Each structure stands twice: as C-alpha cells, then as structure tokens.
Structure 1
Amino acid sequence: MNRPDARGSLTYPETGATRHGPLPDGYHHLHHTVRIGRGRAAFEAAGAAVTEWGMHRGSGARVRATADRAEAGVGVQIAVGAGPLRLIAPCEVIWAVYEKDRTGFAYGTLTGHPECGEEAFTVDLHDDGSVWFTVLAFSRPAAWYTRLAGPLVPVAQRLYARWLGRTLRGIAAAAGRPAG
C-alpha cells in the first residue's frame, strides 16, 4: 500500500456535515452509538486510540497516514482484506476535535475510495462518568463493486461500526485496570 502523500480530490461537496449537520439527502446515513467504558482514564485512552489510528489498527485494518494524529488535512489510507481482495480507502481528515469531554475526527473520501461521503468517529465523556463512542456517516457507492453490492454495503458499514465499538471497549477497559 502506498503512503498517502499525494493528495487526491474530495469526492463529495457536503464537507463537514458530520460535524455541523444535518446529514445530506441522497446518501445512506449511519449513526451508531455505544457505551464503551467509564471514567476519565477510559475516555482518554479511547480518544487517543481514535485520533492516533489505534482503533482502526486494533480492529485489524492497515492504516497509513501523513501524520501520527488526526488533524484537518491529514491524508489517510485504510486497508482491509488481503491480497487481491484488499480494499484500499483513501481519505482526508476534514475536522478534528480535542476538547475536555469530546475527542474525535472525521475523514472524507478521496478519488479512488469505493464510497463517496464522510465518516466521523467521536468519544464523549458524559457528566455521569460514562464514556460513549459514536460513528456518524453519510455515504453512497462510488465504485462499480459497491454499486453492485447494493444493500449489503450499509450492512457491512454497520457491522464495522460495531466492531470498532468493541475494539474501543477493550482499549477503554484496559485503561481502567491496575498495572501488574
């Protein structure tokens, strides 16, 4: 997989809609939220895993990025699968947030991505101490094989969002355990 140094073009005009809303019409919408832990340590560990690519790597995806941390303008390639069945998804970080009780980012699809749209990954620490992970996305097929897959693509996206949540739950749980 090549390093994502050469910048492609974003493949959709509604840049930033995952941050400010509403999600645009004409796309499949995904909104998945799951509780992943409790406390500041869990929040910080999960936030770092999201914004430093550990969540994706922990889920089994290969990640190449132009920076170690998500910031607007960073190029990212996510690859899943193996050999000729490897799917490579070039993206660019659209926005990132690093706040006291909210951490995350969104990336948008670049030319060559099998989908067209934007996906956000955020971790929130609520007042009651619970830590929540959210995936918010809008997308539509951009390649012949995603058009051919039709309704299977949104199902796969939901399954992947759940898998990312399980991955983060494990990271958050490990942060709350005493060393030793």
Structure 2
Amino acid sequence: MSFTYPEVGATRDGGPLPSGYHHARVRERVGHGRAAFTAVVEGVLTFGLHRGSGLRVESSEPRAAQGVRVTSTMAGLLRIPCEVVWVLDENRRGGFGYGTLPGHPARGEESFVAELDDHDDVWFTVTAFSRPGAWYARLGGPLTRAAQAVATRRYVTSARRLAASASDG
C-alpha cells in the first residue's frame, strides 16, 4: 500500500503546508514540567493519546516509528488506515506524523507534537492538511471539516489528561 497524497512528511517542520488542502494547526498549553511533558510524549508515541480521545487503535507496533501502520476505528464503523511517516523523540520535543493510506476517507497528513518550552510549559500541537478522498467525505463537505475539528479538540483534551496524570502521581 502506498500513501494517498504526494507531500509525505510536510507536517514535520512546522512550515507552510501544501496548497490544495484544508489546513489545521492547533497549539495549546496542556501542562507544566518535565513529568507532564514525558507523559504527553509517551502517550503520543504509544497511541494512548488517540485512545484517550475515544478512538479504537490497532497498530503494527506498540510504539510509533517510521513505517508503523495505524488503523483507528471511529464509532465502531469507520476504519481509518494511516502509516507513520516521521517521529520526533528529542529532549524537549516529541511526537509523530502519519499519512493516509487507501481506505482512509481523506487524503493528507496529521501530526501530534509535544514541546517543553524554556519556562517548562508543555505545549501540544496538532497540525494537519487534508482533502476528501472518499465520496462520502466529499459529500459531507463542511460536516467533514467539523468532525475533524471535534477530533482535534479531543486530541488536545487527551493531551491535557495525560499531562495531569503525571501531576497526580
């Protein structure tokens, strides 16, 4: 299987996203301190962030790495196949980006990155570019984008919970 879009890796560096797609970038402070950062990065890299947002997740490996296949299931109906295209596991930044595979209702890429700033605040960023890939996604138009916005909010909420769990322990 191959990716359903040509701009593989375009979410990695935070620069301009490719034209011809709907763009989304949400960056929010989700916690404070090294423990919170570590918890968010671990949740992202082990797909706990996705599970915490309400998705059922199957992956070819337990941890994100380039080439790992990830299939999320939404509402028990919609299977969403992706493949990890890049991973960050640095001292102050961690996360990954994955791209759509055949069978995904959209075409594009999405990334999930946690960052620990110089004040030890933990920031979480979701970046995506996408366009409809399936007839029902095209037909959904604004509803499809609204569903994507809801999913992004759930990811941010999940990241907040992960950060808070490090403070509770």
Q: TM-score w.r.t. structure 1 length?
A: 0.91
Distance 1:96 1:174 in 2: 23
1:22 Cα shift? 2.3
Among 51, 68, 80, the residue aligned to 1:89: 80
1:102 Cα shift? 0.2
1:174 Cα shift? 1.3
4+ aligned runs moved over 3 Å, structure 1: none
* Residues 1:139 and 2:133 aligned together: no
Q: Which has the larger radius of gyration?
A: 1
Q: Which residue of structure 2 lines up, in the alignment, with residue 40 of structure 1?
A: 34
Q: Which residue of structure 1 lines up, in the alignment, with residue 25 of structure 2?
A: 31
Residue identity opposite 1:159 in structure 2: V
- CA deviations 1:105-135 (Å, max 9, x no partner) are 0000001100000000000001011101100
Distance 2:147 2:54 in 1: 15
Equivalenced residue count is: 168
Distance 2:53 2:26 in 1: 16
Conserved 8 A contact 1:32-1:134: yes
Q: Which runs of no fewer than 5 residues in structure 2 stay unpaired?
A: none
* Residues 1:57 and 2:51 aligned together: yes
Residue identity opposite 1:45 in structure 2: A
- CA deviations 1:50-106 (Å, max 9, x no partner) are 010101111110101011111111011011112xxx111100000000000000000
Secondary structure of 1:67's match?
A: coil
Residue identity opposite 2:142 in structure 1: P
- CA deviations 1:25-71 (Å, max 9, x no partner) are 00000101111100000000000000101011111101010111111
Percent identity reads: 52
Conserved 8 A contact 1:32-1:158: no
Residue identity opposite 2:130 in structure 1: S
Q: Which residue of structure 2 lines up, in the alignment, with residue 119 of structure 1?
A: 110
Conserved 8 A contact 1:92-1:108: yes
Q: Which residue of structure 2 lines up, in the alignment, with residue 67 of structure 1?
A: 61
Q: Which residue of structure 2 lines up, in the alignment, with residue 12 of structure 1?
A: 5
Q: Which runs of no fewer than 5 residues in structure 1 stay unpaired?
A: 1-7
Distance 2:132 2:100 in 1: 11
Distance 2:146 2:27 in 1: 16
Q: Which residue of structure 1 lines up, in the alignment, with residue 153 of structure 2?
A: 162
Secondary structure of 1:12's match?
A: coil
Let me know the Cα RMSD of the aligned residues: 0.9
Secondary structure of 1:106's match?
A: strand
